[in-house]
Amino acid sequence: MDDIADWTSQACTELGIDAGQADTAEILALARDVQRAAERPAAIVAVYLLGVAAGRGADREEAAARLADLAKQWSGTTCDWRD
């Protein structure tokens, strides 16, 4: 297990969240996409909004995809040379 997985597991325990609901790869991918397309602080806001949406019952994967699409529309970016 790596550091981010360990930290996420402990954070979930602290907050009473099932660690299986914390897909770190998905969260980090969303943050990366938004950071590249919009700006760095927007990545933090996007991840927070993803959590709010998931907490309200939205499908997490669909919500993440919608936020990533919004970020791409915001900048007009369709791909990134770093991928």
By C-alpha distance, which of 23, 22, 25 is closest to 13?
22
Count of beta carbons in the 10 Å neighbourhood of residue 33? 23
Q: What is the 3-state secondary structure (H, E, C) of the chain?
A: CCHHHHHHHHHHHHHCCCHHHCCHHHHHHHHHHHHHHCCHHHHHHHHHHHHHHHHCCCCHHHHHHHHHHHHHHHHCCCCCCCC
Q: What is the mean pLDDT of residues 28-45?
A: 86
Q: Domain coordinates of the chain in residue numbers? A: 25-75
pTM of the model: 0.71
Assigned token pair, 57 = 């019952």
pLDDT tens track for 42-83: 888 888 898 889 889 888 889 888 888 888 887 655 555 445
Q: Using 50, 70 and 90 to split pLDDT, how confident is the model at 30?
A: confident
